[in-house]
Amino acid sequence: MPQTREHILLARQVDVPNLVVFLNKCDLMSGDDEELLELVDMEIRDLLSKYEFDGDNAQIIRGSATKALEDDDGELGL
């Protein structure tokens, strides 16, 4: 997740006070991949904390930008 790390660092450098994280492409994950999503969630929270954001309380939203663009009202289309 080098790009995620870079974005968090840049947000810190320009004094963004809070972040909301959107995990995209969750529609491509099967139901068996919940453990992988939890690991990604934990890694993102650790990165946020490392750069002095409130990683423990950060909003992390799972979804699919494609489904949202297609006006999908399902869980991942938000």
Inside any domain, residue 77: no
Give the SS3 label for residue 30: coil
Cα dihedral sign for 41, 43, 48, 52?
A: positive
- The secondary structure element, H or E, covering residue 68 is helix 65-69
Q: Higher model confidence: residue 9 or residue 31? A: 9
User: Beta strands of the chain (E only): which ranges?
Assistant: 20-23, 59-62
Question: What confidence tens digit (pLDDT) does each residue in 21-54 have?
Answer: 999 998 888 777 888 999 999 999 999 999 999 9
pTM of the full structure: 0.81
CATH number of the domain residue 60 falls in: 3.40.50.300
Structural domain boundaries, residue 8: 2-70
Report how many domains make up the chain. Answer: 1
